[in-house]
Amino acid sequence: MYERPRIAYLDGRLLRTALLAACRSARLEKAELNRINVFPVPDGDTGTNLSLTVEAVHDGLRTLRSDRADEVMAAAAHSALLGARGNCGVMLSLFLLGCARHLEGVARVSVGDLAEALAAGSRQLDGAVQDPVEGTILTVVRETAAAAAEVAARGQRDFAVAVDAILEAATESLARTPDLLPVLAEAGVVDAGAQGFVAMIRGAAGLDAEGREGVAAPTPSRGARERSPIGAAGHSLGSGTRRYCTEILVEGLALPDEDEVRAALADDAEELLVVRSGELMKVHLHTDSPDEAVAYCRTLGTVAAHKAEDMFAQHEAARGAAAGAVRRPVGIVVDSASDLPDAVKRAHGIRTVPLLLIDGDRTLRDGVEIGPEEFYARLAAEGPLPTTSQAPPGDFMEGFRSASTEAEAIVAVLVASSLSGTIRSAESGAELLDGVDVRIVDSKAASILTGLLALKAAELAEGGAAPDEIVAEVERIRRQSGILFTVRTLDRLIASGRVPHFAGWLAGLLGVRPVLGLGGDGTVQSFGKARGTRRARQLMLDKVAAAIPPKAKRVRFGIVHAAAPEVAAEMQEELATRYPGCDILTSPITPVIATHLGLGAWGIAYMLEDRPTARRPSTSHSYVAI
């Protein structure tokens, strides 16, 4: 008698649930994947990289509501590309992109559609790898796709049965990886990236006919969990010779194809992966010259984010953790007032603790339950607005605890204590944690300047700097960096008590726009005023130029705005012309800051990294903070 399938197809709702379950399952494997990560580099970060990648997928799908499977898969692939970290993350994004391209136009996925999509994802991945090695995730993905094709060829139409068979084949393929790759057999482990892939299948396999997810059991481990084989690895860079794991996210309307970019970077690269989707491109490579790779990518479009991790330093840290959890030496935490773009935070694994907006009897987490666009609409409507508050100590405690699963020590770079009680709350949260090393840095800044300082802290951590070194260097750089901002009207500053009502009324009557900034102590100061927007822009550019020595070599900029993208674009073009080759981050102002500045506000931050020469420059140069 014909038995009706329990799950006959996956629509957008079921596919989304399955992918979310897959992401959660992979994150549960983080510590174990770090422990067994001996190939291609024994640096103990596969679990962290995969966890951050699937976290991006999870975030991209969390609020998506679509009944179409193709739209859900496209969103998953796009999010994976934006958040991909490490070999395993970029490989996962390649695989998902191949699946998504095959499913274009497919609203409901059958078992046969799934098998074909897995095959397309496997081909996309195989075609992108420069020097394929068997016994890795490549092998397991290919053999899993082949098993899915066999299931479909047998006429199986029930997803519940098909996915169980696919999972069984994937698990068997994973168990064979040490037979194909001697370094795994020597260490007594399976391939870490492949194990993460199997964990995702296991999570998706727990889905029932009503779309409820089950609890995924951990992947069976090969070898004792109380030790890490990384400590016995003979070569810090594994099978390679290049030192820096480099990743670059490029945005552009006319990006070249992947083959052209691979050819341009191949001479000084190992583990080279290039993936392009529409106006986005992600480049991953191991190189000794990360700055040259970034400079090349700037010729292709806008570099939205880039990072270069010292794999030698990572390996040394992992060796020291041979008897315990394998983690990065230092993790970075910020608050949401940092205005650091999501792409940058994901690239460097920077954790964010959201500040709060109190809206009547509701508490909204800044950037989570309410984002800039929604908040700007409320500003434009001129209705009642939420008040702001620092995150409570418990939120910081949880943020630090989460970060400590990935790092031995935490450096938190937070909004100025002169502007907010955030520092005090973070200190209280840190005191509630036992055994977690937390260093809290008062940035004496806000918005994108805090973000730039946190980015510098992350780069120092990736280069192997100790926590105390990172804190000292961030504080040094802050003393010669600054931020300026202006507002369209003074209404919000008056409402927040920052500007006397009469002064605001007079400025509005005269069309005067103040140029404000943060002093070296983090307090708001006036740096002049100008009549009209154009003169305000020129005044700000002049102030920034006066603060930066003519021969400065290492300066970065941040531009923020509240619903003023045209001004931000003009400022970015002007700064790029004046300071060619410099990093320029652009971001909307987050709601907790925008509520005090109002629509049309914008600002420029500069971060000078050069060290003073023996002869101290005059105060007209940027070694004196503004």
Distance CA 412, CA 428 (A): 13
In angstroms, the CA 123 to CA 145 distance is 10
> Is residue 234 assigned to a domain?
no
276 and 183 together in one domain: no
- C-alpha distances out from residue 334 to 5, 23, 87, 340, 568, Å: 49, 24, 26, 9, 23
Percent of all residues in the chain with a pLDDT value above 90, rounded to a whole number: 71
Parent domain of 599: 482-608
User: Is the domain of 34 the same as that of 168?
Assistant: yes
Per-residue confidence (pLDDT) for residue 490, from 0 to 100:
63
Alpha-carbon gap, residue 603 to 483, rounded angstroms: 7
In this structure, is residue 5 part of a structural domain?
no
Asked if 24 and 122 sit in the same domain, the reply is yes
What are the backbone dihedrals phi and psi of residue 544, each rounded to the nearest 5 degrees, phi first? -65, -45
* 444-474 burial code (b ≥16 CB/10 A, e <16): bbbbbbbbbbbbbbbbbbbebbebeebbebb
Give 58-68 pLDDT, tens digit per residue: 999 988 999 99
- The answer to the question of residue 453 being in a domain is no
Count the Cβ atoms, other than its own, within 10 Å of residue 599.
21
Examine the domain organization and report whether 103 and 49 are in the same domain: yes
pLDDT of residue 314: 82
* Co-location of 164 and 292 in the same domain: no
Q: For the whole prediction, is pTM greater than 0.75?
A: yes
Q: How many domains does the chain have?
A: 3
Q: Give every strand in the sheet of 351-353, ordered side by side.
A: 351-353, 328-335, 407-414, 437-442
- Domain of 509: which CATH number? 3.30.1180.10
What local confidence, expressed as pLDDT, does residue 530 receive? 85
Q: Tell me: do 151 and 32 sit in the same domain.
A: yes
Domain boundary among 298, 315, 332: 315
Q: What is the pLDDT of residue 231?
A: 65
Average confidence (pLDDT) per 10 residues, the chain, 626 residues: 66 95 95 91 90 95 94 97 94 97 97 97 94 95 98 92 95 97 93 97 75 53 60 66 94 95 94 95 96 96 94 79 69 97 94 94 92 92 85 96 92 96 96 93 98 98 94 98 87 56 44 84 88 85 93 94 94 93 94 92 96 52 34
Long-range Cβ contact pairs of 369-373 (< 8 A, separation 24 or more): 370/591, 371/591, 372/562, 372/588, 372/589, 372/590, 372/591, 372/594, 373/588
Q: Both 166 and 267 in a single domain?
A: no
- Please give the pLDDT value at position 213: 54
Nearest Cα residue to 412 out of 497, 331, 527: 331
